[in-house]
Amino acid sequence: MYLDLSHLKKRFSEKEVVQDLSLSLERGQLLCILGSSGCGKTTTLNMIGGFLTPDGGRILLDGQDITHMPPEQRPVTTVFQSYGLFPHMTVLQNVIYGLKFRAYSKAQAREKGAEYLRLVGLEGYENARIYEISGGQQQRVALARALIVEPKLCLLDEPFSNLDAALRVKMRQELKKLQRDLGMTMVFVTHDQEEALILADYMAIMEKGRLVQYGTPLDIYHQPADSFVSGFLGLDDLLWQPDGSVWKVVKKEVKGESPC
Ligand SMILES: Nc1ncnc2c1ncn2[C@@H]1O[C@H](COP(=O)(O)OP(=O)(O)O)[C@@H](O)[C@H]1O
Ligand SMILES: [Mg+2]
């Protein structure tokens, strides 16, 4: 497998916040880690990104053991909830930042930067300042910055949670298309069931530090592992696409409630 997490563990003082987590993912797939707040999603992602050292277990990426590799040496980039952009730099300077440490001339970096800005729908924004653009545009810059270095794996930690509902839906669709077009392997963390069901090729549902179910949305929806999973996913109806991915989540009407 392309990404292999085996028996990952993390403790903070006495509390085991990630317990014996194992899963694997093929290249070019999008994994959603779904669970409620505090269940260990960010801790898991931070171990994959190298920002936290596991207390046990191993992380393999494309055949290489990266468990103890420093984050800047990993072929992995992260898009954070808070974007983490450099406010004093322009949009283009932010996007091409990661190319500084690689063999790119200034002109090549600018050209590649413009290409990635086009990919995320920000053509023409090269010279804008970060504070001049909207939250959604800032998130697109963060995405372009993470993808431009062509990582083997891109991690995203609740990247759309600061955006309003309509924009979140739009960004979700754009991300899925971009991920497929680039064939990028991604791990996307969210507490939003609908977001996970729509984005995921594979879903990992976590509860209190444990992986309670791992599979495709289709598998999980039809055969939830237990009552926790079925309860957590809710009673929504899903509309499927021919390839087995979720097209739409239809909320079931609650009886007795008048529509407003
Ligand atoms: N640096 C830390 N020190 C102590 N406890 C932590 C630290 N980071 C996270 N935790 C705890 O670990 C648990 C899992 O946190 P986290 O991975 O951030 O959850 P999630 O991202 O799913 O909301 C929580 O109970 C949280 O309070
Ligand atoms: Mg988190």
| 103-159 residue pLDDT tens | 899 999 999 999 999 999 999 999 999 999 998 999 999 999 999 999 999 999 999
Last residue of a domain, one of 150, 169, 196: 150
The count of other CB atoms within 10 Å of the CB of residue 149 is: 18
pLDDT of residue 257 exceeding 60, the answer is no
Residues framing ligand 1 (Cβ under 6 A):
12, 17, 35, 37-43
- Give 205-228 pLDDT, tens digit per residue: 999 999 999 999 989 988 889 888
Question: Rounded to an integer, what distance in angstroms lies between the CA atom of residue 24 and that of residue 204?
Answer: 10
Ligand 2 center–CA 35 separation, angstroms: 9
Residue 43 alpha carbon, nearest atom of ligand 1: 17
Residue 43 shares a structural domain with residue 168: yes
Same domain (yes/no): 192, 254 = yes
Per-residue pLDDT, averaged over 14-32, amounts to: 97
* Contact between 19 and 56 (Cβ < 8 Å): no
Probe ligand 1: pick from 10, 17, 33, 210, max atoms within 8 Å of CB?
A: 17
Structure confidence at residue 221 (pLDDT): 86
Same domain, 187 and 239: yes
Range of the domain at 222: 1-75+159-260
Identify whether the C-beta of residue 246 lies closer than 8 Å to the C-beta of residue 198. yes
Q: State whether 143 and 181 are in the same domain.
A: no
Report, as an integer, the average pLDDT of 245-258.
65
Per-residue pLDDT averaged across 60-79, rounded? 96
40 and 167 inside one domain: yes
Ligand 1 center to residue 41 CA distance, Å?
8
Q: Which atom of ligand 1 is nearest to the CA of 18?
A: 14
Do residue 42 and residue 146 come from a single domain? Answer: no
Q: Do 51 and 88 have their domain in common?
A: no
